[in-house]
Amino acid sequence: MDLLTGLVALSPDGLTSENALMRTVCARAVSLEPLPFEPAASAADPVLAEVAEQFSVDVAGVTAEQRAALVSAYGAEVLGVAALMYVADFVPRVRAGLAALGMTFPDPVGWDRTTHPADALLNRFTSTVGAMRGLDPLTTEIIRLRGATQHNCRLCSSLRESTALQAGGSEALYDEIGAYQVSDRLTDAHRAALRYVDALIWTPSSVDEAAAVVLEHFSAEQAVEITLDVMRNGTNKIAVALGGDAPRVTEGVELYLLGADGQPVFSS
């Protein structure tokens, strides 16, 4: 859980006001308690509040005008701002999910003003979670594909993890994810995991029942991994918000391998 505490500690110099605003807006948009933040000395750009709320409620609804305004306002810092926005948005969801599983993680004792938010989130966090192997690869892939469609990430939807295919994955099975509640091909465990994924994404303030069902099918350690997988996969919200989620293939799907280091390995 140290990784989560480290993300909460992020408070880069020059972005204190933005961080405070995003942590307040994102969490309240989904009826959760905001992450702690440093008091802001000045008000942040109101455009940022508008984008942050849409990012949290449904990132697919971020408009081209909002995206352009964000890039115009923050320029070369926009990726760092977007990473902070994601932390503000998703760590409260993870905290709610973990609490429903009977777990927690501590707030930081100080602020991290030097680590780049994108490095902490998109390199350190995603690779560490990606390297976890408590779940079978097919379950991990089913969870990933649900997040891809819910956030409308075109790139993520075009990818297929090769180990999951070897473990029984297929397009016919993956087609069942969209209506998993009535699928007779997905297992009870898969349906429980997908219900929990949906709760974290859409109703994180009411996640208790879905979490309880997950614990009927998975160990506590596996349930934590599912929770962190949802957050890892959800970093696609940054690409969607910034318009960087175009697929690498013009048709069909692209295979990749999730390496032992938690990073994707592509054949080309």
Each residue's pLDDT expressed in tens, for the chain with a length of 268 residues:
799 999 999 999 999 999 999 999 999 999 999 999 998 767 768 889 999 999 999 999 999 999 999 999 999 999 999 999 999 999 999 999 999 999 999 999 999 999 999 999 999 999 999 999 999 999 999 999 999 999 999 999 999 999 999 999 999 999 999 999 999 999 999 999 999 999 999 999 999 999 999 999 999 999 999 999 999 999 999 999 999 999 999 999 999 999 999 999 998 6
Residue 172 placed within a domain: yes
1-25 burial, b at 16+ Cβ within 10 Å, e below that, comes to eebbebbbbbbbeebbbbbbbbbbb
Print the domain residue range for 69: 2-127
Residues 29 and 63 in one domain: yes
Residues 149 and 101 in one domain: no
Residues 48 and 92 in one domain: yes
Residues 67 and 156 in one domain: no
Last residue of a domain, one of 127, 154, 188: 127
Residues 75 and 143 in one domain: no
Residue 268 placed within a domain: no
Last residue of a domain, one of 80, 95, 127: 127
Residues 177 and 84 in one domain: no
Residue 192 placed within a domain: yes
Do the beta carbons of residue 81 and residue 15 sit within 8 Å? Answer: yes
